[in-house]
Structure 1
């Protein structure tokens, strides 16, 4: 059964909505929301990923998803039967819901690993490199994540979901992710209890220490809550968007490749193979000499400093 990827219709809508938000921001004196050079870089990378993605996705669906589906769900007496004994899933409405949930689960881990593994982060940092948060940032996608992203989803077709169904669910996920990149949508009450919403995604794009590496979910925030990466939006905290080490350039090629260059330079800092491996595949910020810190280490250091400060304050009060 053939289905149309919803992104085919989504891409023109993306451009239209960016124009609407841009116009609205300029007419309401929100000039800081969009930076022309930054928007140009985002659109250039978005166009590039749009041109690259169809080729890679075609190869992925035909050579990987379909191959895995056929291997794990062969035809037995004219019926698709999973190697573990059950019939391959069909196209009933509840199967679509289950597939979308499976997609969201995979998206959570794919997205989280993009923040936990530096080599993946080098591809994903492109999306976070803008110091603006708007619908233009939503299309600021790296060109290399598509090469490994399918590996996080292949289990879905292996257990019996049709490949074309998964592709549609991936498209729906992408549509939801796009519209999250707006500052004009406030907290949504009860919807925030289940769904990943706009304020939650603002948290995800912040470089404030208390916000970093939080809210990795797709359209649900359930997996963030279950696996300990959920963070509520705090209106008292002034958000700073972007990354701690900015590419400091609007050149798309620099933005796309700067972290790979940094990885290479860091690997040359130590002769030990273990250190080289960690610079490439350890958490971002890891260093063999402590010259740079991971987010976890930075939080621990801040916690220790606060404890020490509290002790000093108590000692000072006691002395008085």
Structure 2
């Protein structure tokens, strides 16, 4: 069975009313219990960024699906010759494998968005709010759609139908909407395998010890497998946002200010190595050590914790 691109259903259409209802409910609970989960300025910024992201996602959908179809058809003769099939079809187990493969792709795409500065510039807008609420889920970067499909190309090469891949990507995004809330408590058994709002709060926090953790989409097992998992400390106050927040909250600034900063850094150094690192190095890297990466900050924090622990364990001197 083949499904054409123009016949592909849009899952988001069916979930928009539920999203709106849940956001309204969360805002009401915030108001009733004085939790300050929302602010007018922040909500307007998230809405404007979200509308722009939705429009650009729609405009680039044809490019993404077209790219998948290109590799799907290009490698079809090789699949027939070396693997013995032309495509994987639409059976239930293919859907399961595609969902798992999609989530694996998202993990690495998301992880590199936090460890490579040019990708962080595209992703930073999603973390720019100091609020953590369901509306934050729509605060997505406008340029991220241009390079994101690259991580998924191996799926059409293996014979997964491009429409199936696109639908799995949509299902992943829909699931992640529900991760952006502080009102959901820790879920013991489910949370061992699946991503939950409890651990996603860690991902959105700017506490030094929480930086660059929990990159998973639907599944949290990738973080556990590749060493980026960290459970939330219920005794630690979670601070949301980024270490160096933008000074303005208009959608243009939120989406492009880091790209502008990259250009300034590249222009102000002569070394080609330094220019390369300012683009493809980790966020916070600097040629003169004037700034620090998240790993540097975490190493300093760990040293401070160890020093404090040693001092606390030493007996007090008793003077007669």
When normalised by structure 2's length, the TM-score is 0.92
Q: Please give the alpha-carbon distance, in whole angstroms, between the structure 2 residues aligned to 1:315 and 1:266.
A: 46
2:112–2:119 contact (8 Å) kept in structure 1: yes
Check if 1:112 corresponds to 2:111.
yes
Per-residue deviation, 1:317: 5.6
Q: Please give the alpha-carbon distance, in whole angstroms, between the structure 2 residues aligned to 1:310 and 1:182.
A: 34
Q: How does 1:55-66 map to 2 (within 5 A)?
A: 55-62=59-66, 64-66=67-69
Structure-1 residue corresponding to 2:286: 287
Per-residue deviation, 1:4: 1.5
Structure-2 residue corresponding to 1:264: 263
Structure-1 residue corresponding to 2:209: 210
1:68–1:158 contact (8 Å) kept in structure 2: yes
Q: Please give the alpha-carbon distance, in whole angstroms, between the structure 1 residues aligned to 2:45 and 2:249.
A: 6
Q: Secondary structure at the match of 2:73?
A: helix
Per-residue deviation, 1:180: 0.6
Distance 1:14 1:120, change over 3 A: same
2:209–2:301 contact (8 Å) kept in structure 1: no
Q: Please give the alpha-carbon distance, in whole angstroms, between the structure 1 residues aligned to 2:219 and 2:166.
A: 18
Structure-1 residue corresponding to 2:223: 224
Match of 1:46 among 45, 50, 63: 50
Task: String of CA shifts for 1:91-141, please: whole Å, max 9, x gaps.
Answer: 111110010000000000000000010000001000000000001111011
Distance 1:313 1:231, change over 3 A: closer
Q: Secondary structure at the match of 1:146?
A: helix
Structure-1 residue corresponding to 2:23: 18
Distance 1:26 1:68, change over 3 A: same
Match of 2:74 among 66, 71, 74: 71
Task: String of CA shifts for 1:263-313, please: whole Å, max 9, x gaps.
Answer: 122223321110011011100001111111111111112233444556677
- Per mean C-alpha deviation after superposition, the further-off stretch among 7-16 and 185-194 is 7-16
Distance 1:316 1:288, change over 3 A: farther
When normalised by structure 1's length, the TM-score is 0.92
Q: Secondary structure at the match of 2:53?
A: helix
Query: Structure 1 regions of 5+ residues with no counterpart?
Result: none
Per-residue deviation, 1:200: 0.7
1:131–1:240 contact (8 Å) kept in structure 2: yes
Distance 1:70 1:195, change over 3 A: same
Per-residue deviation, 1:82: 4.2
2:193–2:219 contact (8 Å) kept in structure 1: yes
Structure-2 residue corresponding to 1:194: 193
Query: Structure 2 regions of 5+ residues with no counterpart?
Result: none
Check if 1:147 corresponds to 2:154.
no
Alignment RMSD: 2.0
1:33–1:132 contact (8 Å) kept in structure 2: yes
Distance 1:309 1:28, change over 3 A: closer
1:7–1:174 contact (8 Å) kept in structure 2: no
Distance 1:247 1:237, change over 3 A: same
Structure-2 residue corresponding to 1:101: 100
